[in-house]
Amino acid sequence: AQVSNISKQMIPKVEAYHKRKLSDKFFCVYLDATYLPLRRETFEREAVYIAIGIKPNGHKEVIDYCIAPSENIEVWTEMLQNMKSRGLKQVELFLSDGVKGLKTTLARSCPKAHFQRCLVHVICYV
């Protein structure tokens, strides 16, 4: 019961977080998803997407996150569109793993941004 009460109090705060105005400029945005066991009707592993940005002054910020059953380009596209609608205008560099279609989606969404594949992903998954 206590967890349910805490969750009910947090829902409006989480919704406000996902709707907040974003900085218009980030030097670098790191995009990645990881699988975590989550309790829904059953215990299943679901993808937790996260976008972490570094502002021109060096300040790091979790720009946004979401949870979906699996990692796919449609969720990344929706996240990027949402971030742009909340004020994101300029990114110098995106870092990410090799999700198929992400580089193309980023080029359409932020045509002036550069893309680099995360070296940890390149080294560990080649």
What domain count does the chain have? 1
Q: Classify residue 3: in a domain, yes or no.
A: no
- Model pLDDT, residue 122: 45
Q: Classify residue 10: in a domain, yes or no.
A: no
Q: Classify residue 76: in a domain, yes or no.
A: yes
Among 3-12, 19-28, 87-96, name the one with the lowest average pLDDT: 3-12
Q: What are the pLDDT digits (tens) for 13-38?
A: 999 999 999 999 999 999 999 999 88
Domain of 95, in residue numbers: 26-124
Q: Classify residue 57: in a domain, yes or no.
A: yes
Q: Classify residue 54: in a domain, yes or no.
A: yes
> For the range 53-59, what are the long-range contacts, defined as Cβ-Cβ under 8 Å and sequence gap of 24 or more?
53/23, 53/26, 53/28, 53/29, 53/91, 54/26, 54/27, 54/28, 54/29, 54/30, 55/23, 55/25, 55/26, 55/27, 56/25, 56/26, 56/27
Q: Classify residue 5: in a domain, yes or no.
A: no
Q: What are the pLDDT digits (tens) for 64-86?
A: 999 998 899 999 999 999 999 99
Banded pLDDT at 2 (limits 50, 70, 90) = confident
Which CATH number belongs to the domain containing residue 100 in this structure?
3.30.420.10
Q: Classify residue 12: in a domain, yes or no.
A: no
Q: What is the pTM of this model?
A: 0.85
Banded pLDDT at 119 (limits 50, 70, 90) = low
Q: Classify residue 58: in a domain, yes or no.
A: yes
